[in-house]
Chain A
Amino acid sequence: MNLLSIAPTLAQGPMPTEMGGATLFHYLLVSAIMFGLGLIGFVTRRNLIIMFLCTELMFQAAGIALIAFSRFHLNHTGETFVIFVLTVAAAEAALALALVVLLFRRKETLDASSWQDLKG
């Protein structure tokens, strides 16, 4: 339990094979739970902004899984992919929020079910 002995696993160094004491599965589990929470939030919440916030949560879960895989394989491809995820998240935020503002101006509410008539 010596703090100093585990400190090197936090820093870069020559990539150690051990994933800082936790295995790949630990990180994948956290990622799966976060993705599930994001999904639950997306389905249950009725506020348009919160729904998009929940998709960001799912993006974040995917990011953790990618970084964990990148670390497991000891290369940087996963991290490059996270840059991509970040780009898509930024693009999504810009477009989705512009849409939300547009929809809010029309009906003065953020309720997703107020647009139910779009079902046709």
Chain B
Amino acid sequence: MHSMMSPILFYAACAIGALGVALAMPRRAVSPYLIGAIVGAAALGLALIGLAVAKPDALPNFHFYIFSAIALGAALRCITHARPIYSALYFVLTILASTGLYLILAAEFMAFALIIVYAGAILITYLFVIMLASEGPTEEVAEAMGEYDRVAREPWTASIAGFVLIAALSTMFAAGSSNLKLNPELAVADRHLDVMPKRVLAELREAKLLPDDSWGLAINGTNGRYDINPRLDGQGSLTIASNNGTGERQLIAQKDWPKGLSLSNTEGVAFSLIDAHPGAIEIAGVILLMSMLGAVILSRKKVEMDEEALRQAIARERSAERGDELGIEGPYATPGVGQGGAA
């Protein structure tokens, strides 16, 4: 904790944050949510200042601070807004801001998947249900907001418990993340380039790194794969060989590689998903199938027929049966069966 930010400052920020969130909760009397919001913002600012003071070299990265401030502010408003629709819209804002955080972390694929799936699909479902399952305005009450929306349940206890949890989690995160070391074995720096020889060749050809068109990628004698060895520290290399019978080989150092010769984030995620975790997709598919079945079963409705419709349905069935016996082609008798009965 000491290396990351001053603990006293952080715990003070947590206490003020708990106060702010509790004040911002909707309540029976006039909700002092403006005061709550100001106090909450002060706590957030205190925490961010604490971070920035402890790490002055991190200051230039103001994108992180902007996106996280928007995300957390919108999250606060999402849990305190009395109207469900606004809550859902603030949640969309949280999603969009955390998408910004994903982009800073170079996870472009997940960022866009998040916008499409979360903000685009899941939240629209929520909005549908909010509109479906809310009482419309009546003659007496124009403001159709239930008591359960206007008054929060135990705001003080909940926010104190929540912020104690936040303080404990953050202390442990600080201790753990300062001990964590990068394991180069786990890191993948374009490790999968050797399964994409055509793309590598095209990039090399475009950068005019091949002496002439007869040159191709060399195959490593020991493992039989293309000899492309990218490394995290940029000291890797790849080998090209001429195909005109001379067996000539040439090394291209990683620092001379063309810019396009690296896996994009989407390709990296794809390789991770298909290559390293093939079972994950299957399980995800089964989960989605099960939830679809569950939703169908939950939302199925027993159709109540009124008396007249029921009588008509029975009459229709009877006449069909009789027609079958007499060999008349009724609506339900198939032609073959009807003729067989007549004969």
Q: Residue-by-residue, is A1-25 near B (CB-CB < 8 Å gives 1, otherwise 0)?
A: 1000010011111110101111111
Instruction: Count chain B CB atoms within 10 A of each CB in A21, A36, A38 and give the residue with the most.
Output: A36
Per the bound structure, the CA–CA distance linking A109 and B146 in Å amounts to: 8
Q: Is the CB of B182 within 8 A of A72?
A: yes
Query: Within the complex, what minimum Cβ distance (angstroms) separates B158 from chain A?
Result: 4
The A interface, classified by DSSP as helix, strand, loop or mixed, is: helix
The verdict on B169 contacting chain A, using a C-beta distance below 8 Å, is: yes
Per the bound structure, the CA–CA distance linking A6 and B75 in Å amounts to: 27
Query: Within the complex, what minimum Cβ distance (angstroms) separates B131 from chain A?
Result: 10
The verdict on B9 contacting chain A, using a C-beta distance below 8 Å, is: no
| Contact pick for B299, options A10, A39, A64, A101, CB 8 Å | A101
Please, how many residues of chain B have a CB less than 8 angstroms from a CB on the other chain? 107
Q: Which of B168-204 contact A (CB under 8 A)?
A: 169-170, 173-174, 177-178, 180, 182-183, 186-190
Q: Is the CB of A53 within 8 A of B114?
A: no
Q: Residue-by-residue, is A54-67 near B (CB-CB < 8 Å gives 1, otherwise 0)?
A: 10110010011001
Query: Within the complex, what minimum Cβ distance (angstroms) separates B125 from chain A?
Result: 6
Query: Within the complex, what minimum Cβ distance (angstroms) separates A88 from chain B?
Result: 7
Q: Is the CB of A25 within 8 A of B122?
A: no
Residues of B within 8 A of A (CB): 4, 17, 21, 25, 47, 51, 55, 57-61, 63-64, 68, 71-72, 75-76, 78-80, 84, 87-88, 91, 94-95, 98, 101-110, 113-114, 117-118, 121-122, 125-126, 129-130, 132-135, 146-149, 151-155, 158-159, 161-163, 165-166, 169-170, 173-174, 177-178, 180, 182-183, 186-190, 232, 234, 262, 264-265, 268-269, 271-273, 276-277, 280, 283-284, 287-288, 290-292, 294-295, 298-299
* A-B CB proximity, top 5 nearest: A21-B61, A41-B79, A91-B291, A76-B272, A74-B187
Residues of A within 8 A of B (CB): 1, 6, 9-15, 17, 19-30, 32-41, 43-47, 49-50, 52-54, 56-57, 60, 63-64, 67-68, 70-77, 79-80, 82-84, 86-95, 97-102, 104, 108-113
Q: List 25 A-B contacts (CB under 8 A).
A: A1-B60, A10-B106, A11-B106, A12-B106, A15-B232, A19-B105, A29-B173, A34-B94, A39-B158, A43-B162, A44-B158, A45-B153, A49-B126, A50-B79, A53-B87, A67-B102, A82-B110, A83-B113, A86-B118, A93-B122, A93-B126, A95-B295, A98-B294, A98-B295, A104-B133
